[in-house]
Structure 1
Amino acid sequence: MEQYLRVGVIASTHGLKGEVKVFPTTDEPERFRKLKKVFLDTGKEYLPLKIKSVKFFKNQVILKFDEFQDINEVEKYRGKDLLIDREQALPLAENENFIVDLIDMDVYDEEEQRLGTLTDVLQTGANDVYVVETEEGKEILLPAIPSCILEVDVEAAKMIVRIPEGLL
């Protein structure tokens, strides 16, 4: 399991005093109000940043960090991920998983026949859709609903599914 979870991506700078506009990748953007620190994935290291202030504008979060005082210091981090330690994550409800824990999971049908590898999760609004790539390079799109997703074992990186009639 990944130790760090992405909560946002720096979209651009905001003003001249080192603030950044962040596109939130969390289901709960309001959580930024409670966060005290995040880690900036610079591509070489995870740089700890202390959050000084949080504002919201449209679908973005505007953050000010103690470590940056002007636009020139933060401009180079456009497009970089903001992460939190897994321990800072919001608690999951029953049968919920972090997407990062599902990616690369082996997917099997009810008879334990391997279907392929889960490569992506599409968030459609109604329910998520799991993208499974088969050994032949084809994609199977599975709705993430209880009648289809029978078992998810994050520790074993294994998922057992029921293929809806007519899907294949």
Structure 2
Amino acid sequence: MKQIKIGVLVNTHGLKGEVKVKPMTDFPDIRFQKGNTINIQYQDKLIPVAIKHVREQKDLLLLTFEEYDDINQVEPFKGSVLSIDESQLHELEEDEAYYFELQDCEVYDETDHLIGTVCEVIETGANAVLRVRGEREYLIPYVKAFVTDFDAQTKRITVKMVEGL
């Protein structure tokens, strides 16, 4: 099953198995709920873990996992990617998209001219911004004023180009 990256386990915290996680999802409150099962990608293995406790600290989350109550058990996981199975994704509204769906999409203007390919999705807080590389590089806000169509199946985005974009 395809894995979707939702965060990175950046460090341990204290001696009782708590870990610091940098969330990399628009839905940290959903993905990191108490009782949810997520995967630790460690040495080419997927280790499923159930979230026992979660709390926020600045821009990080502090998590504990069921059956992991000692720093020595979680220390090896530092730097590991946290993921979920693609089947755990929930349906989005019609005009929304997951970042992994936007990555590597071809971007066209309204006259069907290829502008380039999405090489990065940047989270700004207010909205996502697509970094598009083609003949030159563009930063295109992922909002209805600019993005007129997105087709996840064909990996195609149509945008309205405006002066100064």
- SS for the counterpart of 2:111 is coil
- Residue range with higher mean Cα deviation, 34-43 or 104-113: 34-43
Q: Is the aligned partner of 1:19 residue 2:4?
A: no
- SS for the counterpart of 1:159 is strand
Alignment of 1:2-151 (within 5 A): 3-31=2-30, 32-134=32-134, 136=135, 138-151=136-149
C-alpha change, 1:119 and 1:33, in structure 2 (3 Å) is: same
Give the conservation status (yes or no) of the 8 Å contact 2:51–2:65.
yes
With structure 1 as the length reference, what TM-score do the two structures score? 0.85
With structure 2 as the length reference, what TM-score do the two structures score? 0.87
Amino acid corresponding to residue 45 of structure 2 in structure 1: E
Amino acid corresponding to residue 148 of structure 1 in structure 2: F
**How far is the alpha carbon of 1:73 from its aligned partner?**
2.3
What is the distance in 1 between the residues matched to 2:45 and 2:140?
A: 36
CA RMSD of aligned residues (A): 2.0
Give the conservation status (yes or no) of the 8 Å contact 2:33–2:51.
no
What is the distance in 2 between the residues matched to 1:166 and 1:25?
A: 30
C-alpha change, 1:65 and 1:34, in structure 2 (3 Å) is: closer
Name structure 1 gaps, 5 residues minimum. none
| Equivalent residue, structure 1, for 2:157 | 159
Amino acid corresponding to residue 163 of structure 2 in structure 1: E
Give the conservation status (yes or no) of the 8 Å contact 2:54–2:61.
yes
Name structure 2 gaps, 5 residues minimum. none
Q: Deviations over 1:64-100 (max 9, x none)?
A: 2234342122112212111112232343222110001
Instruction: Report sequence identity in percent.
Output: 38
Give the conservation status (yes or no) of the 8 Å contact 2:38–2:82.
yes
